[in-house]
Amino acid sequence: MTDHAARPASGLGFDPADRGLLSPVWASPDVAGETGDAAIVAAMLELEAAWAETLESAGLVEDGAGAAVRAVVRAVVGAQATDDGGVAAQVGSAPSSVVEPRATTAFDAGRLANAAQGGGNPVIPLVKALRAAVPDGPGRAAVHRGLTSQDVLDSALMLTARRASVRIHADLAAAADALADLAAQHRTTPQVARTLAQHSLPSSFGLKAANWLQGVAHAERSVAALAFPVQCGGAAGTNASLVALGAEPHALAADWAHRAGLDAAVAPWQSFRGPVADLGHALAAVCSAAGHVANDVLLLSRPEIGELGEPVADGRGVSSAMPQKQNPALSALIRSAALRAPADAMQLELAAALSEDERTGGAWHTEWPALRELLRLAAGSAAALRELAAGLRVFPDRMRANLELSGPLLVSERIMLELSDVAEGGRAGIQKAVDAALAASAAGPAEQARVLRKELRAVVREGEGARDANAGYGSAEDLEARLDDLLDPARYQGDAAGIVDRILKNYEESGARRRRA
């Protein structure tokens, strides 16, 4: 019998790496490199090197131990032939001759993943390979001393997340600035507001952009406020091994965090999964905020609406079958991430809820891919949103044309509010005029406007002098002038401009100024 499972499915060769072929929202080399297996391996090695240096600084291992481990880590990471997007530079580099070339293959992510099935996590085979690579002496004895696998893997994921969050935050900040510019530029640009997919009232595109800004700025602040704590609890969260070594565990963990570029933790969090859940919430918020923008752009860039357009770039939005099409590809990718992120965030919450004892079996393991996928989705969304916001094309003429499709009935709320007191029959009289205009809807907006004016003239009282609640309008000319104003949708934007101003002021105070600082 032929063993089909033993050979590749195609002639292209077998490559187990996930490079984002079916998830193009994060398929850029930058995002994939910062969150790929090589980046995780590099982070775990960085944590091990920093730990050896911490032990040496505390006098718990012999002099030279930290330097010995660090040299091997630099050589291994520097020698890895990966497309990691700069992970080697993050950890440092050294001549690969520090260790035997064949030793570096022991840290190949594929080998570690396969070996991880034996102990349930990749730290166990990584530590074994690191001990074998460090020359016999004080360095080898310092490797992983006093730690447990969860200490290293949790901390490595936090380190990976911190590094990825730098890019996410920068892209969100740039996108927010671009949205703030759009809101200011189009502060009073007339646009119809749509509720439940229908025209509702006149508004402005500036207000829409300002509302997008609120979501993106909120996500940006959520990412900026994240903590990335080191995990240091030992085998059961008591740090018994460190106490046995004569160390003060909390001080040791704080020094480890400082060396590795993480935050000190109040206490071990191996059974309290708050830091992971917080990270998941912030990353999901990034995808949601970006998704809000993308959803609106997808709708408003439809040819029959035509109010917005994505940036034009070579190769962007092309169709394989229809050369005339300009697909909103950026928005589609962002929306795909927004649809997927909640499931991964929910997975982190579910894992936390089902955490049992001092280390959970299975629930902890499900966090790893969910967290990494959220990092990738958020990073890809933020990068795409930055490009979308910076290059968004706005078509005010189409906005005005669409605003007028509903005719004068778009301002019927205002007519009712302002004319019912001076109309025969009050509200019922105004409603009769509106109903007459509705009946003429098939004839188009112009005919609706003519009918509505005629009916309003018939029910609104005329009186002497200026309009008041009892006398009505002084003349037919006064009423016509008032109807010109009342039936202009651009003059019924409520406090849209004021809301835009307040959002921009709040953004300037809590967002842009903080970034500059």
| Residues annotated as part of the active site | 319, 359
* Beta-carbon contacts of residue 346 (< 8 Å; ≥ 6 apart): none
* Beta-carbon contacts of residue 6 (< 8 Å; ≥ 6 apart): none
- Taking only Cα atoms into account, the Rg of the chain, rounded to an integer number of angstroms, comes to 31
Residue with tokens 């206490």: 267
477-516 burial, b if ≥16 CB within 10 A, otherwise e?
Answer: ebbeebbeebbebeebbeebeebbbebbeebeeebbeeee
Six token digits for residue 110: 């594929």
CB count in 10 Å sphere of residue 354 = 12
Q: Is 6 exposed, middle or buried (0-12, 13-18, 19+ CB in 10 A)?
A: exposed
CB 453 within 8 A of CB 436: no
CB 342 within 8 A of CB 284: yes
Residue with tokens 């934007």: 493
How far is it, in rounded angstroms, from Cα 385 to Cα 169?
12
* Beta-carbon contacts of residue 265 (< 8 Å; ≥ 6 apart): 229, 230, 231, 232, 253, 257, 275
Using CA atoms, how far residue 366 sits from 198, 342, 352, 373, 407, in Å, is 42, 15, 10, 11, 55
CB count in 10 Å sphere of residue 194 = 17
Six token digits for residue 268: 């071990």
Six token digits for residue 156: 């490595």
Six token digits for residue 403: 């605003």
The alpha-helical segments, DSSP class H, found in 143-204 are: 149-185
Residue 188 DSSP one-character state? T
Residue 9 DSSP one-character state? S
Give the amino acid at 474.
G
Using CA atoms, how far residue 291 sits from 187, 279, 294, 318, in Å, is 22, 18, 5, 21
